[in-house]
A and B are shown apart, each in its own frame.
Chain A
């Protein structure tokens, strides 16, 4: 069966510090991978998606970047965090060309 792991669960970082959130998927090959951000009480905003290794599409200009160094690994990064980067970050995967998405448990990031 497929599983998705996302860590850490919570993170408190000072303004200007770097960020690295990691997401890995098991039990499937060549998945579509997604990073979403959810502000408090709001919907999900798609940040990045990837259809293959090294292939990243950005949806929103921001202080963040994403990388896919391996087929089932998706990393969200920032060189210098801003207060506005605070939020709940969710990683998800779906079958290539498929529809249903499977989500990780999320990372609560607080930038102070």
Chain B
């Protein structure tokens, strides 16, 4: 079952603008992760934010987490054409014996126009 749900499904912006993607989830989490996927490739981990954190930065990325609303946002500042990709949020669900299943949303497809 899918835990996360990204919004919007697709986003098209001009190079240099900021891109904001949102993620909502259903159950309690201990962290939330964002991944990037270039077309036809595997996913690459971008950033992880723990449940006791409200904001985290990594380069041009800024992630926020609101556990009361069960939502997170990913902000990419000063976007570049190379940022064109699909972005997914993911939450680990404990499945027993110390293992976690990472469940993903459907993703936001970002297009950055040069």
B-contacting residues of A (Cβ < 8 Å)? 6, 32, 34, 36, 41-44, 46, 49, 51, 57, 59, 88, 90, 92, 94, 96-106, 108
Count of chain A to chain B residue pairs whose CB atoms are closer than 8 Å in the complex: 67
A106–B2 CB distance below 8 A: no
A94–B95 CB distance below 8 A: no
From 69 to 114 in chain B, residues with beta carbon under 8 angstroms from any chain A beta carbon are: 88, 90, 92, 95, 97-107, 109
Chain A residue nearest to B6 in the complex (CB) = A43
A101–B102 CB distance below 8 A: yes
Task: With A32-B99, A105-B41, A105-B42 as known contacts, state yes or no: A99 contacts B92, CB within 8 Å.
Answer: yes
Task: With A43-B88, A44-B88 as known contacts, state yes or no: A96 contacts B43, CB within 8 Å.
Answer: no
List B contacts of A59 (CB < 8 A): 101
Task: With A42-B106, A44-B88 as known contacts, state yes or no: A98 contacts B100, CB within 8 Å.
Answer: yes
B41–A106 CB distance below 8 A: yes
Interface centre among B2, B102, B103, B104 (most CB of A within 10 A): B102
B102–A96 CB distance below 8 A: no
Answer yes or no: B57 CB below 8 A from chain A CBs.
no
B41–A43 CB distance below 8 A: no
List B contacts of A49 (CB < 8 A): 95, 99, 101
Interface size on B, residues (CB 8 A): 26
List B contacts of A94 (CB < 8 A): 100, 102
A-contacting residues of B (Cβ < 8 Å)? 2, 31, 33, 40-45, 48, 88, 90, 92, 95, 97-107, 109
Chain B residue nearest to A100 in the complex (CB) = B45
Q: 14 new A-B pairs (CB below 8 Å) besides A42-B106, A43-B105, A108-B40? A: A36-B104, A41-B109, A43-B104, A43-B106, A44-B43, A44-B104, A51-B97, A57-B95, A90-B43, A100-B48, A101-B33, A101-B43, A101-B45, A103-B42
A41, B97: Cα distance in complex, Å: 33
Q: How far is the CB of B51 from chain A (nearest CB, A)?
A: 11
A31, B40: Cα distance in complex, Å: 25
List A contacts of B103 (CB < 8 A): 46
